């Protein structure tokens, strides 16, 4: 869907630059395609910034009026020449220069990215470096510009907005801020208002014997989280575990109690998309069997624990959200009946916000961050000579609990596979569709080899949709120190005939 907009822009004369270790389909339409070595994003982006400053292509007015820390960033990239970056990223220096000049020369430039930027040890710095890039080129707060993260799951945005994070209450209100405790205390009474553990830390706390119980709603960490053996060990170890899901997933097998939830077609509510737009969903079917909408299960459990309030329907929950979450203050079911609203939307008269940071950054001036290149957490060596990167395919969704139940989708990709470059396959004597064993420092799995030109030499690609080829048995526990996002994009592996 996003690609259709890219095509439209391209038809109107925009230049398209694609940077990916896989020659994705969009690359066929690109003005420049940069086949980047996994884990070297920072070297690439720092080189772009170096060239743009060195050749005086940056937006002087924007830098002077809207950003701070420019000089420090300028100093930090002074040796990041295209030649230097070529050594690290394997992208020809000329390509890097063309992209830098093209992006800086455009009247409007937009950066689209997803997990290829974030799922690295340096995920936070990768994003910050792209923020530097859009700031020095003045590409913020106007139509067709900006730094645009593409959310993978339908409601990642809403889950973050509404408090499914350990360090903030709904609306990104910091848990450790006394004002938050006071505000929520008036409505929620006594509640836990600390910086809690992120998912990888929860597993560590279970392993240490400090976390005793788990409640997992609509997630499948056995397939989706890094280092599967560690996850399974922790799920076995935890004293008590509740899973709420629509299927008996790989994770649900470990539960003491399984609660049957309802799918999105069997309930009312709202989702917030990647452009911060809250939109309604409507019940099309009754929940199957005795299953219940998840909101109802949660509300009933709250009452089991002594809560005296009740919610008649999801709209009543939104009423409470309106009062507690400033960004959603004016987002009512009545207003989003036909067309969704983009937050921040603080009150009923507010039309919603199409562009964040339009005339000024929310914090005042845009802060540029020094982001020096660091090597990824794992390196290839003699024993594990290839670098595996992971991701999704068009016809499947996450751990496949839904799409693998749909035959028209499953037939497109009926099982686990590993994409291998032709030259690498030739060296190993592999033939197309042969079963191979893929091993990392953590374990081994098998999958079908798909031999292709569309991936960089020395790199292989696998997808985490398939329980029979569980890729996260191979991935490491290397994480970004700030966000704890796992480094899914760089795992050293070896491949042999199964």
Residue 130: name the closest of 313, 335, 366 by CA.
366
How near is the Cβ of 447 to other proteins at its closest, in Å?
Answer: 20
Report residue 289 as tokens: 């069997």
Q: Are 67 and 135 in contact (CB under 8 A)?
A: yes
d(Cα 52, Cα 45) in Å, to the nearest integer? 11
Name the minimum Å distance from CB 25 to other proteins: 13
Place of tokens 């960004």: 327
What is the Cα–Cα distance from 52 to 70, expressed in whole angstroms?
Answer: 13
C-alpha 424: how far from its chain's center? 30
Nearer to other proteins, 273 or 454 (CB): 273
Is the Cβ of residue 101 or residue 392 nearer to other proteins in the bound state? Answer: 392
Cα–Cα distance for residue pair 477/225, rounded to 1 Å? 9
- Closest distance to other proteins from the beta carbon of 85 (Å): 27
Alpha-carbon separation of residue 336 from 266, 278, 310, 353 (angstroms): 19, 7, 23, 14
Q: HSE of 24 in the Cβ direction (CA atoms, 13 Å)? A: 15
Q: CB 432 → other proteins: shortest distance, Å?
A: 24
Q: How far is the CB of 490 from other proteins (least distance, A)?
A: 15
Looking at beta carbons only, is 46 or 220 nearer to other proteins? 220
User: Nearest distance from residue 336's CB to other proteins, in Å?
Assistant: 10
* Closer residue to other proteins (CB): 242 or 370: 242
- Residues forming beta bridges with residue 244, ordered by sequence position: 217, 259
Per this entry, what is the length of the chain? 498
Distance CA 471, CA 396 (A): 15
Residue closer to other proteins, measured from CB, 138 or 352: 352
> What are the two backbone dihedrals, phi and then psi, of residue 394, each rounded to the nearest 5 degrees?
-55, -40
Q: Judged by CB, which is closer to other proteins: 4, or 347?
A: 4
Shortest CB 274 distance to other proteins, Å: 4
Q: Is 86 or 227 the residue whose CB approaches other proteins more closely?
A: 227
Whether the CA torsion 324, 340, 296, 166 is positive or negative: it is negative
């Amino acid at each position: 869907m996003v690609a259709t907009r890219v095509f439209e822009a391209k038809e109107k004369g925009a230049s398209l630059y694609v940077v990916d270790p896989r020659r994705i389909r969009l690359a066929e339409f690109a003005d420049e395609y940069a086949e980047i070595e996994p884990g070297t994003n920072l070297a690439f982006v720092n080189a772009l910034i170096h060239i743009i400053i060195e050749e005086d292509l940056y937006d002087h007015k924007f830098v002077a009026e809207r950003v701070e820390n420019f000089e420090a960033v300028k100093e930090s990239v002074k040796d990041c020449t295209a030649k230097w970056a070529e050594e690290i990223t394997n992208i020809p220096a000329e390509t890097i220069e063309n992209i830098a000049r093209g992006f800086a020369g455009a009247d409007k430039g937009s950066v689209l990215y997803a997990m290829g930027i974030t799922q690295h040890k340096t995920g936070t710095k990768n994003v910050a470096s792209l923020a530097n890039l859009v700031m020095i080129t003045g590409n913020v707060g106007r139509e067709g510009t900006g730094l645009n993260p593409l959310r993978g799951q339908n409601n990642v945005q809403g889950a973050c907005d509404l408090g499914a994070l350990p360090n903030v209450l709904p609306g990104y209100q910091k848990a450790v801020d006394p004002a938050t405790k006071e505000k929520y205390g008036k409505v929620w009474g006594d509640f836990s208002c600390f910086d809690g553990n992120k998912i990888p830390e929860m597993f560590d706390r279970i392993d240490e014997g400090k976390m005793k119980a788990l409640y997992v709603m609509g997630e499948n960490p056995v397939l989706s989280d890094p280092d599967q053996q560690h996850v399974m060990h922790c799920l076995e170890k935890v004293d008590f575990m509740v899973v709420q899901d629509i299927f008996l997933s790989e994770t649900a097998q470990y539960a003491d109690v399984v609660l049957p939830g309802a799918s999105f077609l069997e309930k009312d509510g709202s989702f917030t998309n990647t452009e911060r737009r809250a939109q309604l969903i409507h019940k099309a079917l009754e929940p199957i069997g005795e299953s219940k909408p998840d909101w109802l299960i949660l509300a009933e459990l709250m009452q089991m624990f002594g809560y005296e309030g009740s919610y008649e329907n999801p709209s009543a929950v939104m009423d409470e959200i309106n009062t507690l979450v400033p960004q959603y203050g004016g987002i009512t079911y009545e207003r989003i009946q036909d067309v969704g609203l983009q937050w921040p939307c603080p009150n009923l008269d507010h039309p919603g916000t199409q562009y964040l940071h339009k005339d000024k950054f929310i914090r005042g001036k845009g802060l540029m961050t020094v982001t020096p290149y660091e090597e990824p957490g794992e390196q290839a060596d003699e024993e594990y000579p290839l670098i595996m990167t992971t991701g999704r395919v068009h016809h499947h969704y996450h751990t496949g609990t839904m799409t693998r139940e749909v035959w028209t989708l499953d037939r497109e990709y009926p099982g686990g596979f590993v994409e291998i470059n032709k030259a690498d396959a030739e060296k190993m004597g592999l033939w197309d569709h042969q079963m191979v064993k893929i091993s990392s420092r953590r374990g081994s799995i098998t999958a079908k080899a798909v031999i292709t030109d569309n991936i960089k030499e020395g790199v292989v690609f696998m997808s985490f949709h398939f329980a029979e080829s569980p890729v996260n048995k191979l991935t490491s526990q290397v994480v970004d120190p700030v966000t704890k996002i796992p480094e899914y994009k760089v795992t050293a592996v070896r491949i042999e005939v199964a």
